[in-house]
Structure 1
Amino acid sequence: MLGRTALRMAAIEALKGNTLVGGNVLDSEIGALDVGADGNLRTDQEKPFISVYVEGAKLEGGADIRALHRSGPTELVIEIGITAAMVETNAETGESSIVGLQIPPTDPAFEFFLECTARQVVNALTDPGNAWAEIWRGLSSGVARIERRRTADATHGVRIAAHQIIITVDLLPDPVYGEPVAATSIWQKFFDKLATSTDPVTVKKRAAMLALLGDPDATLNSEARGDGSA
């Protein structure tokens, strides 16, 4: 569903550069923080990170064929992680400190890092001056539920700590295939904002998403002919 993709992409862009993890905001890299076969937490990251991904969505009651364009209540997961190895070392003194905070790397300090970063996530997503956050907010009719979780573990002697923020939003319906996207809609704002990116992957993603919307002119022409083709 395009709404799920857009929600995730907008959240990632809104967070980049606006928290203590800097630009290390990962797209759907669930394995960035994983549970191994031995039950221990593991990460493949070398510096503090945020991983953003979309989980379940469920739409119930009164659904017709057009409901296929709707995701309904959808869970967006924002996962913040850090390990004891993710520290900065002062070249002059040799002392280590928490990245971005310049405080000793103790367990309370790692927890403090996660709490500060979680607050920065909230600040970024609610910032009226953050264009991507405005799009993120506009893709749903509102927040239905917020859940916060904390986890910590020690794997092979390396302490791992993480926080999760699970935001359940009621996503707006996807644009209907073959129908024009209104110039004032949040979808047009989303595609216009994507068009400003110079990242080649983002450019290709935008093109692919637009292709999934169909060609309104072709649809209108087929309806005028009465041939039922799309």
Structure 2
Amino acid sequence: MIGRTALRMAAIEALKGHTMVGGNVLDSEIGALDVGADGNLRTDQEKPFISVYVEGAKLEGGADIRALHRSGPTELVIEIGITAAMVETNGETGESSIVGLQIPPTDPAFEFFLDCTGQQVVNALTDPGNAWAEIWRGLSSGVIKIERRRTADATHGVRIAAHQMVITVDLLPDPVYGEPVAATSIWKKFFDKLAGDINPITVKKRAALLALLGDPDVTLNSEAQRRRFGMTLEEVRALFDSAVPAAEATEPNIASVAIED
């Protein structure tokens, strides 16, 4: 779904460089923090990280007939992780300290790091001056629920601590295939912002997402309308929402509809 992808990408870009993990904000790398078969918590990262991914979404009731572009409540997961090995060493004194805090790497200090980084996540996503955060906020009609969890483990002497924030938002519906993207819509802002990124991967992602929108110049209005509501041809005809059957392939402009007794 385009909305899920946009929500995740906007969150990642909004967080990069705005927390103590710097640019180490990972896209959907769920394995960055994982539980092994032995039940132990593990990470493949070498420095403090944030991992962002989208989990479940559930829309119950209220859908327009058979509309499939609706998103509904969607869970955005933000994981923050650090291990005892992720420390800075002072070249002069040889003392170790937690990245970004310059305090000794104790268990309370790791928890403090996670709390501070979690607050930085909130600060970044609510920052009026953060263009990507503005897009992130515009992709939903509001936050429904926030869950905060913590976990910790010690495997082979390496301590791991992590916090997880699950933000459930009422995600906007996806753009309807074949309908033009409004110049004032959040989707236009999202794609325009992506256009400013010259990273080859981002360029290809943007092209792939735009292809999913279809071409409004070759899509009949009636076809786009049927996609929006998931209506059958018979339902459209019954609602007088298309040209008369003989002209459906060309879709002439309908100025008025008159019903005679």
Q: Give the TM-score of the pair, scaled to structure 1.
A: 0.95
Distance (whole Å) between structure 2 residues aligned to residue 4 and residue 39 of structure 1 = 30
Deviation at 1:66, TM superposition (A): 5.3
Say if 2:10 and 2:135, in contact at 8 Å, map to a contact too: yes
Stretches of structure 1 lacking an aligned partner (at least 5 in a row): none
1:56 aligns to what SS in structure 2?
Answer: strand
- Post-superposition CA distance 1:9-31 (Å, at most 9, x none): 00000000000000000000000
Alpha carbons of 1:2 and 1:66: their partners in 2 closer, same or farther (altered >3 Å)? farther
Please say if 1:127 is aligned against 2:127. Answer: yes
- Post-superposition CA distance 1:178-202 (Å, at most 9, x none): 0000000000000000000011100
Distance (whole Å) between structure 2 residues aligned to residue 21 and residue 113 of structure 1 = 10
Say if 2:180 and 2:216, in contact at 8 Å, map to a contact too: yes
Say if 2:63 and 2:70, in contact at 8 Å, map to a contact too: no
Alpha carbons of 1:139 and 1:201: their partners in 2 closer, same or farther (altered >3 Å)? same
Deviation at 1:220, TM superposition (A): 3.5
Deviation at 1:221, TM superposition (A): 8.8
Distance (whole Å) between structure 1 residues aligned to residue 25 and residue 171 of structure 2 = 22
Greater Cα radius of gyration, structure 1 or 2 = 2
Please say if 1:42 is aligned against 2:23. Answer: no
Alpha carbons of 1:156 and 1:121: their partners in 2 closer, same or farther (altered >3 Å)? same
Q: Give the TM-score of the pair, scaled to structure 2.
A: 0.84
1:216 aligns to what SS in structure 2?
Answer: coil
RMSD after superposition: 3.4
2:201 corresponds to which residue?
201
1:115 corresponds to which residue?
115
1:46 aligns to what SS in structure 2?
Answer: coil
Say if 2:49 and 2:82, in contact at 8 Å, map to a contact too: yes
Question: How many equivalent residue pairs?
Answer: 226
- Post-superposition CA distance 1:159-190 (Å, at most 9, x none): 00000010000000000000000000000000
Distance (whole Å) between structure 2 residues aligned to residue 82 and residue 155 of structure 1 = 13
Deviation at 1:62, TM superposition (A): 3.5
